[in-house]
């Protein structure tokens, strides 16, 4: 049996009614500070979200994922559907997000959660506690519309607590849950007003140069200047960027030496890699690995790494976006799509070949910045659209 999709206008009316409660939920989430590297803090935020998911009838599990504070999974929809996913008609959708923020404990003192006009300010409101509140509210809308009764669709809400530091502890579970899903909807912040259909893959690199120390006055010619060698290598690295391919390599940190009158024995630099195409991972790693010392008496240690594959604009993703745009049109909303250089956990699910749509969360500005804020009036229609997309599966 095919799901009858719910009318998106009715969902919007429902979302407007729930808006005050949605904002209250967001405020509560933002008041539980949850920096990625503080497992106890993120766990507290996760427990709060778990309670909210249980209230909505979600079958909740809290997965341990050290050193992070854990991962929340909450399954919605008929048990028979969730259990028999090999059944042709049965579909599973993953709603993906994270509860951690970049803000350390105590940030609330200088950056309180506060409403100014029609905007809500506070640590993590935009990236992405509003997205979490939206996911929970969208599920509530589906509950209230009695959507699950004869649904052939199960939804898995998945919230991690280490996204901002690379998702090392949560990646395996995210990939496990995404495999075989009909769609992954990522509630990360919007790009302007747009949904995100492509994200760059990310990586980093480090180069260490080992030269030979010497007195800069007495033994100058015996020294092998690691800083000079590093500077030459960095010139080469700068040329790895191929803007047209969407491949960029940036130096971000540098260090070395100790005293002005010593020829330095050691210097290092670290930086960032972004790729638009999966195939460019091997290409850029090979370029780094081919670096050879220019001064043969210096030793190079080169460590490049790609940690998130790009989220490419695949046919599956485009199909999801087209569906979203059609539904939005019924609300007289001209939904657009965008590509971004920033990565999310959507990169992992997309790289598995699972149709992934991202940037479905809040509209606002100032992610990772002191002026972080969201537009409250954008919440209802974006929340309704998440619910409508699930119902249209």
Count of residues near Zn ion by CB under 5 A: 3
Does residue 354 bind Zn ion (CB under 5 A)? no
Beta-carbon contacts of 243 under 8 Å, excluding residues fewer than 6 positions away, are none
Closer by beta carbon to Zn ion, 233 or else 349: 349
- Taking the complex as a whole, how short is the minimal distance between the CB of residue 189 and Zn ion, in angstroms? 7
Task: State yes or no: cis peptide before 67, omega within 30 of 0.
Answer: yes
Helix (H, G, I), strand (E, B) or coil at 43: helix
Rule CB under 5 A: which of 51-80 touch Zn ion?
A: none
Does residue 372 bind Zn ion (CB under 5 A)? no
- Taking the complex as a whole, how short is the minimal distance between the CB of residue 358 and Zn ion, in angstroms? 10
Does residue 127 bind Zn ion (CB under 5 A)? yes
* φ, ψ for residue 205, nearest 5 deg: -145, 155
Does residue 280 bind Zn ion (CB under 5 A)? no
* Alpha helices (runs of H) in 208-363, residue ranges in sequence order: 226-238, 280-289, 315-329, 346-351
Closer by beta carbon to Zn ion, 188 or else 280: 188
> Of all residues in this chain, which one has the CB nearest to Zn ion in the complex?
127
Does residue 45 bind Zn ion (CB under 5 A)? no
Q: Is the torsion defined by CA of 344, 57, 20, 106 positive or negative? A: negative
* φ, ψ for residue 35, nearest 5 deg: -65, 140
Closer by beta carbon to Zn ion, 186 or else 376: 186
Alpha carbons 177 and 170: distance in angstroms, whole number? 11
Buried b (16+ CB within 10 A) or exposed e, 253-280: eeebbeeeeebbbbbbbebebbbbeeeb
Closer by beta carbon to Zn ion, 53 or else 132: 132
CA neighbor of 324 nearest in space, from 264, 272, 386: 386
Rule CB under 5 A: which of 293-322 touch Zn ion?
A: none
Does residue 128 bind Zn ion (CB under 5 A)? yes
Q: Interacting stretch for Zn ion, rule CB under 5 A, among 80-88, 126-134, 166-174, 202-210?
A: 126-134
Alpha carbons 102 and 127: distance in angstroms, whole number? 9
Closer by beta carbon to Zn ion, 120 or else 154: 120
Contact string 135-174 vs Zn ion (x = CB under 5 A): ----------------------------------------
Alpha carbons 52 and 35: distance in angstroms, whole number? 20
Rule CB under 5 A: which of 177-196 touch Zn ion?
A: 188
Which residues in this chain contact Zn ion in the complex, by CB under 5 A? 127-128, 188
């Amino acid at each position: 049996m095919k799901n009858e999709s719910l009318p998106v206008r009715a969902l919007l009316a429902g979302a407007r009614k729930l808006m005050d409660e949605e904002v209250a939920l967001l405020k509560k989430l933002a008041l539980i500070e949850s920096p990625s590297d503080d497992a106890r803090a993120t766990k507290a935020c996760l427990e709060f979200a778990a309670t909210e998911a249980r209230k909505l009838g979600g079958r909740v599990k809290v997965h341990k994922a050290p050193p992070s504070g854990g991962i929340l999974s909450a399954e919605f929809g008929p048990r028979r559907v969730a259990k028999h996913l090999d059944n042709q008609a049965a579909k599973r959708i993953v709603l993906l997000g994270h509860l951690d923020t970049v803000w350390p404990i105590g940030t609330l003192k200088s950056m309180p959660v506060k409403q100014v006009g029609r905007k809500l300010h506070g640590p993590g409101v935009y990236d992405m506690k509003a997205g979490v509140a939206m996911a929970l509210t969208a599920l509530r809308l589906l509950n209230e519309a009695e959507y699950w009764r004869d649904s052939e669709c199960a939804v898995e809400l998945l919230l991690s607590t280490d996204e901002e530091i690379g998702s090392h502890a949560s990646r395996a579970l995210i990939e496990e849950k995404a495999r075989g899903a009909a769609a992954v909807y990522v509630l990360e912040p919007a790009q302007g007003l747009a949904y995100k259909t492509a994200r760059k893959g990310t990586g980093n690199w480090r180069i260490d140069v080992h030269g030979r120390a010497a007195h800069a006055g007495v033994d100058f010619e015996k020294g092998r200047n690691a800083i000079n060698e590093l500077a030459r290598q960095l010139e080469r690295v700068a040329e790895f960027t191929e803007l047209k391919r969407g491949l960029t390599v940036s130096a971000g940190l540098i260090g070395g030496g100790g005293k002005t009158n010593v020829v330095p024995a050691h210097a290092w630099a670290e930086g960032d890699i972004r790729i638009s195409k999966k195939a460019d991972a091997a290409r850029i790693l090979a370029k780094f690995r081919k670096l050879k010392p220019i001064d043969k008496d210096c030793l190079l240690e080169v460590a490049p790494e790609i940690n998130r594959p790009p989220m490419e604009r695949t046919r599956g993703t485009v199909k999801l976006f087209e569906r979203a745009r059609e539904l939005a049109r019924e609300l007289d909303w001209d939904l657009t799509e965008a590509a971004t250089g920033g990565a999310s956990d959507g990169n992992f699910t997309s790289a598995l070949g699972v149709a992934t749509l991202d940037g479905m969360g809040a509209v606002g500005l100032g992610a990772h910045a002191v002026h972080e804020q969201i537009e409250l009036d954008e919440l209802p229609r974006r929340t309704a659209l998440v619910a409508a997309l699930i119902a249209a599966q």
